[in-house]
Amino acid sequence: MSTTTAAPPGRDSASDATKGLLIVLVAVGHCIPAQQVWPWLGHGGLYDFHVIAFLLLPFLRPPVAASIRVFADRAVRYLVPFVAFALLAWVAWHAVPHRPVAWTALPLALLQGDVASLSEGVGFTFLWFMPCLLSLTVLRSAIAATSKPLRGATVAVLIVLHGCLAGTNLRLPLNPLPAVYVLPLGLAVAALAHHRRARFVWLAVACSCGVIAAFRQDHINVASLIVPLWRTPLSVVLHDVYAIAATLTVVHFGPELARVPGLAHIGRYSLVVYLSHQFVLKAIEIWSERQPWDGTWNAKALVAVVAIPASLAAGWWLARILDRPRVRPWILPHSVRDWPPTAWLVAATAH
């Protein structure tokens, strides 16, 4: 990737740069040595917004039409890479010494896509994001298709559920519970996104909430539904405001972020970087743990400094390979007509 700020035709460099910053923060937040050196990353730090922001970004655009064809296209777009990388993760998990995962649990892991099922059937759990994103798309479109009175009642129910999901272990297809949790936040982002002149206010609010959360060691993890309940309303408000303000901050500073060399180009391939970065982080972590110098603070800091850019670079390299015309439709299809198996099926039924 070049280091210019100009986006390729049809691409928004500010949006790509926003995704670039977020995927860098995801890699930092998922790096275990970095968390050991800088504990605030896990205590009220990045987990409040770095992955959540990727679920909130779609709310900056109108919801997709509520139709079977659109949902089929989204299902192919999100679930094909999910299954492909889940199978790769399953192989990688068995390639190194780990607690065993039952091969019989793999089908349910692919169907449900939640952290618990992926832990039992795949080993790696970070793939929860893909089926959750599909559920979020479906739920948002369904809400947008309802009448205004019913839509208001639905939003009210979602707000109530938002503070009632902590510790829920109900396993449903396509991991919808984190999507239910995120929906009210996304609606708030959509309502506030046009206030671009308030970006310094959002920045100040996000920093303040981050400092408070870090001081209280009050952290959340949406993937596992480690979130506050309504019986602690101040904690609910703290994390909600933090996620909303941090997301609006990075979005509104997108044009400035686009001037950072390489950031927009990382963001252009943020999906593949997300789907692959954990493999590199885990490999370097396992290697470092076997070294005699691993226990020192300086060693862990050095491992983090090496592992994070290495995971980003590996994801970028893999994305460039998968972006080739003969490869992309099989792993990263855009729609039903783009993925060869469903494209063949559509063509056959048309005749």
Nearest residue to 47 via CA among 224, 175, 300: 224
What is the gyration radius of the CA atoms in the chain, in angstroms?
20
Can you read off the two tokens belonging to residue 64?
């997709």
Nearest residue to 271 via CA among 130, 103, 157: 130
CA distance 5 to 214: 34
Q: pLDDT for 95-137, tens place per residue?
A: 877 778 888 899 999 999 999 999 999 999 999 999 999 999 9
Cα angle: 225, vertex 48, 121; to 5 degrees? 40
114: buried, middle or exposed (CB in 10 Å: 19+, 13-18, 0-12)?
buried
Which alpha helices (H) appear in 253-295, and where do they start and end? 254-257, 263-268, 270-289
Nearest residue to 136 via CA among 215, 55, 28, 225: 55
Q: pLDDT for 289-311, tens place per residue?
A: 888 877 787 888 999 999 999 99
- Least confident range from 7-11, 35-39, 75-79, 327-331: namely 7-11
Q: pLDDT for 22-72, tens place per residue?
A: 999 999 989 988 888 887 776 657 778 889 999 999 999 998 888 888 899
Can you read off the two tokens belonging to residue 297?
């603070």
CA distance 41 to 46: 6
Q: Give exposure, 209-244, as e/b (b: 16+ Cβ within 10 Å).
A: bbeebbeeebbbebbbbebbeeeeeebbebbbbbbb
Q: pTM for this structure?
A: 0.90
Can you read off the two tokens belonging to residue 245?
């303000």
